[in-house]
Chain A
Amino acid sequence: MRRFTWFNATALTFGFAFLYLPMLILITYSFNESRLVTVWAGFSTKWYGVLLHDKAFLSAAWITLKVAVMSSTFAAILGTMAAYALVRGGRFRGRTLFSGMIYAPLVMPDVITGLSLLLLFIAIGMDRGVTTIVLAHTTFSMCFVSVVVSSRLATFDQSLEEAALDLGCTPFDAFRSVTLPIIAPAVISGWLLAFTLSLDDLVISSFTTGPSSTTLPIKIYSAVRLGVSPEINALSSIMILIVTVGVIAASLVSKRSIALQKADEQKALQQ
């Protein structure tokens, strides 16, 4: 039974306030006229303008985007391959160990991952920069992709692949023309997950970054240490907007495809 009670209403209000009040305050102050963050001095969009002309922020944003796109793409490819091998590889010795090892980075503290990667890059004499950040982000986000994709593969009817082989596909062709198109939604959501993880990663990036490759989270963090500025608020508001739009779009797309499928099946049944 769903009933409106005062208790429900209160719980809901507190819950949402807890989640969204900080963001609301941040967005509000990004439109503050005054340079002083905590003193309201009227509405203004000037900080957004300032942001657009700040070379350092723009270059950090560009690097962040580049890193996120590259690392999430690599993570999607590697994570899908790992998931495929683990789900389809049959029962080989040590399979449990392997699947455990794939998922371990999920719970590994970022500091440890970052530190160990830093040590690796030093050991092999690799100059730190965009490349090392991309490698590091790929490493930690591919296991998230792998989790998403392998849960899709577990419910995937294997006879589809066999049918493809039976009809003349090589194993690779079968994967490319049957498996991949069918699991594509899972790969895409894995990619999105890796993308957002890379966008807001601070810890691992700081360990593996070089002098000319400051990402946005690093930039924001170091700026905030000198004091919160309305400029930062504006930047953060933009990020909140992007994420919100992305999440809503993704859920609308998936809802729509489910609804379409249901309608189709209904139609087929009525014939």
Chain B
Amino acid sequence: MNDNNGNTDFAPWEDPAEKPLIEFRNVTKRFGDFTAIDDLSINIYDKEFYALLGPSGCGKTTLMRMLAGFETPTEGQILLDGQDMAAVPPNKRPTNMMFQSYALFPHLSVAENIAFGLKRSDMPKSEIAGRVDEMLRLTRLEQFGKRKPHQISGGQRQRVALARSLAKAPKLLLLDEPLGALDKKLRQDTQFELMDIQEKTGTTFVIVTHDQEEAMTVASRIAVMDAGRIIQVATPDRLYENPNSVYVADFIGEINLIEGKAEPLGDKLTEIHWAEGEAPIIGTAPADLAKGTACHFAIRPEKVAISSERPETHANAVQGQVHDIAYLGNISTYHVKLKNGQIIKAQAANNRRLSRRNFTWEDPVWLSWTDTAGVILTQ
């Protein structure tokens, strides 16, 4: 890598010299005439925590199963460490999978479940018990080694599944919605535990999830999928700040979308004409757009300021009326109705006590934002 202070952020995908650990080259998977994965190409690098995010049925599990070797691509290639995996059966791949249903062997104890893969590896018999203990310690299951899977709780089962899939120290660990069955609190704890374990073991993780918060929390990069295709791959913050499409913007967090026609002002500054009789919105386009291009202006609620007077400083300001207020404790979300009927959400921190809140229902207010606060999307 090109860092010389040894402390730069982990970003192998920005280094053209770095070889990916996994490479999908134009992979297509069809079940009959249904296309589950459509001409998909991605690179995943060593030690990454890579999240596949998308709605149910978009092909996340199928992608995972092709990596594990349970499905073969209809077209295209999957390379692991530069080697084509097509002819390698699941039991010969240096990958392990943590199943959505955990798939613990009910007839074996927790320790035997963890030892299962080790017994089938070339690890000497004498070292297996030590490795099992190490895994039990890592997942805080020391007291449960002798129990059967049905004698432990859901959260413990999930940790057994993790320990079992990590025991063989795979190059790549596949996690299919690993936390789906846990309640919210346990889930958040486990997310941090997973990140911790990933760091300790230095394993590359690919995690499937349909929960955007989970993906944002754990992942080094997120691939947003829709209907068998990758829409955008980026770090969580870039995905949030610079979505490349309405789909991604809408999928990750809350966002206001205003539809309009672009009119470039030069230097990437662009005016968006969005309603009769309203001043155009000034924003920054990723590239110069042709005049009249249909586009969306997308802005996060927390980047919209709300005030009773028209602010002088911001490039954009529109007038509206408070339609609804969602009080969330630390913040409030104001739903403001514009003259054309569109609702825009603005978020403000509740620095003051509720009784001294500035705005209430039906109040006329101004919404404002700078020319770099939002993004212009053409897809």
Those of B90-116 within 8 Å (CB) of chain A: 90-91, 95-97, 99-101, 103, 105-107, 116
Summed over the interface, the residue pairs from A and B with CB atoms below 8 Å come to a total of: 68
Those of A118-174 within 8 Å (CB) of chain B: 157, 159-160, 162-170, 173
A163 touches B151 (CB 8 A): no
Q: Number of contact residues on B: which range applies?
A: 20 to 34
B121 proximal to A (CB < 8 A) = yes
Q: Number of contact residues on A: which range applies?
A: 20 to 34
A160 touches B121 (CB 8 A): no
B148 proximal to A (CB < 8 A) = yes
From residue A225, how far is it (CB to closest CB) to chain B in Å? 51
A163 touches B99 (CB 8 A): yes
A160 touches B105 (CB 8 A): yes
B150 touches A261 (CB 8 A): yes
A265 proximal to B (CB < 8 A) = yes
B120 touches A271 (CB 8 A): no
A178 proximal to B (CB < 8 A) = yes
* Known interface pairs A157-B101, A166-B96; A271-B107 also in contact (CB < 8 Å): no
B152 touches A164 (CB 8 A): no
Q: Which residues of B contact A163 (CB under 8 A)?
A: 97, 99, 103, 105
Q: Which residues of B contact A54 (CB under 8 A)?
A: none
Cross-chain contact of B148 among A182, A264, A271 (Cβ < 8 A): A264
A162 touches B99 (CB 8 A): yes
Interface of chain B: mostly helix, strand, loop or mixed: loop
A268 proximal to B (CB < 8 A) = yes
Those of B2-35 within 8 Å (CB) of chain A: none
Q: Which residues of B contact A269 (CB under 8 A)?
A: 153
* Known interface pairs A162-B70, A166-B68, A168-B121; A157-B153 also in contact (CB < 8 Å): no
Those of B160-209 within 8 Å (CB) of chain A: 164-165, 168
A264 touches B117 (CB 8 A): no
Question: What is the bound-complex CA distance between A160 and B161, given in angstroms?
Answer: 12
Q: Which residues of B contact A93 (CB under 8 A)?
A: none
From residue A162, how far is it (CB to closest CB) to chain B in Å? 6
Question: What is the bound-complex CA distance between A200 and B164, given in angstroms?
Answer: 49
Return the CB mask of B110-138 against A: 1 if under 8 Å, else 0: 00000011001100000000000000000
Question: What is the bound-complex CA distance between A47 and B320, given in angstroms?
Answer: 105
Question: What is the bound-complex CA distance between A169 and B168, given in angstroms?
Answer: 13
A271 touches B99 (CB 8 A): no
Question: What is the bound-complex CA distance between A166 and B121, given in angstroms?
Answer: 12
* Known interface pairs A157-B101, A160-B103, A160-B105; A167-B151 also in contact (CB < 8 Å): no
Question: What is the bound-complex CA distance between A219 and B239, given in angstroms?
Answer: 83
A264 touches B120 (CB 8 A): no
B99 touches A159 (CB 8 A): yes
Q: Which residues of B contact A159 (CB under 8 A)?
A: 99-101, 103
A53 proximal to B (CB < 8 A) = no
Most buried by B among A159, A165, A166: A166
B97 touches A166 (CB 8 A): yes
Q: Which residues of B contact A265 (CB under 8 A)?
A: 150-151
Cross-chain contact of A164 among B101, B106, B116, B168 (Cβ < 8 A): B116
Question: What is the bound-complex CA distance between A261 and B116, given in angstroms?
Answer: 23
Chain B interface residues toward A at CB < 8 A: 68-70, 89-91, 95-97, 99-101, 103, 105-107, 116-117, 120-121, 148, 150-153, 164-165, 168
Chain A interface residues toward B at CB < 8 A: 157, 159-160, 162-170, 173, 178, 181-182, 261, 264-265, 267-269, 271
7 A-B contact pairs sorted by A residue (CB < 8 Å): A157-B103, A164-B105, A166-B95, A166-B96, A166-B97, A181-B107, A182-B105
